[in-house]
Every structure is written in structure tokens, then in C-alpha cells.
Amino acid sequence: MRRSKGNHRDEEVSQTKRYRFDGWQLDVGARELVGEDSVSVPLSTGEFDLLLAFVERPRRMLNRDQLLDLARGRSANLFDRSIDTQVSRLRKKLEKDSSDPQIIKTVWGGGYMFTSEVTSE
């Protein structure tokens, strides 16, 4: 019942969006990430939700609690490191060199920042 009370119009608009960044295209409606070579890269639900949170808030530092809330709709406990694992997996898929990340940067003592310029269609 509570789920049906949400604003479905906003959900429909966001589901038709496409975001572009650093040669990548994220199709929200199809839940698909496509590289420059037009090859689709599979993403888990957690990776997709986290990437969507980043591309909707580029160049903003987001801490673990914010990312958990945005990507999973829940708050973190003190020792919850699942976001770190998801970021690591995303880096392996997005970055040319995951040991020297340029797209998702770590802000020491703060969280993470999606540094790429993002355009939406």
C-alpha cells in the first residue's frame, strides 16, 4: 500500500533517462551500461543503483551513509562496508586502471566522488 502512494510520474521520467560520461552510456530504463565499443557491461542491482546515485550527483562528495540510503534505501550501521565493495566492483568495470581510479575518487575521511562530467538525454 505504501509503495503505491509514491509519485509514479517521477519514476516514469527517471526510467526513460540516459546518462553519458567518459565514453559510457547508462540507460536507466533498460538498466544497461554500454561502453564506447557498444558492448553492454553487466551490472548487479547494487552496482546499478550505486552508479545511478553517482551519475545523478556528479562532482559531489557522498559519504557511505548517503550512498547506502540513495542506492539501497537504508541507513548504514557502524561497520557496514558493503558500499566499499560495490565501489571496488564498479571501478573494475568502469576504470581503465582500477588501481588509479579517475571516475570514482575516494575522498579520504569523507566518502566518494564521481568526478566525470555527466550529460543526460
pLDDT at 111: 94
CATH of 3-120, one of 1.10.10.10, 3.40.1500.10, 2.60.40.10, 1.20.1050.140: 1.10.10.10
- The answer for residues whose C-beta is within 8 angstroms of residue 115's C-beta and 6 or more apart is 58, 59, 102, 103, 104, 105
Q: Which residues of the chain have pLDDT under 70?
A: 1-16, 74-80
Whole-number pLDDT of residue 63? 92
Tell me the chain's radius of gyration from C-alpha atoms.
15
Q: State residue 120's pLDDT score.
A: 92
* pLDDT at residue 80, as a whole number: 67
DSSP H or E segment with residue 18: strand 18-21
pLDDT for 79:
56
pTM: 0.83
For the chain, the structural domain boundaries read 3-120
Residues 24-35 as b or e (16 or more Cβ within 10 Å = b) = bbbbbeeeebbe
Q: Distances in Å between the alpha carbon of 58 and those of 46, 87, 114? A: 18, 15, 5
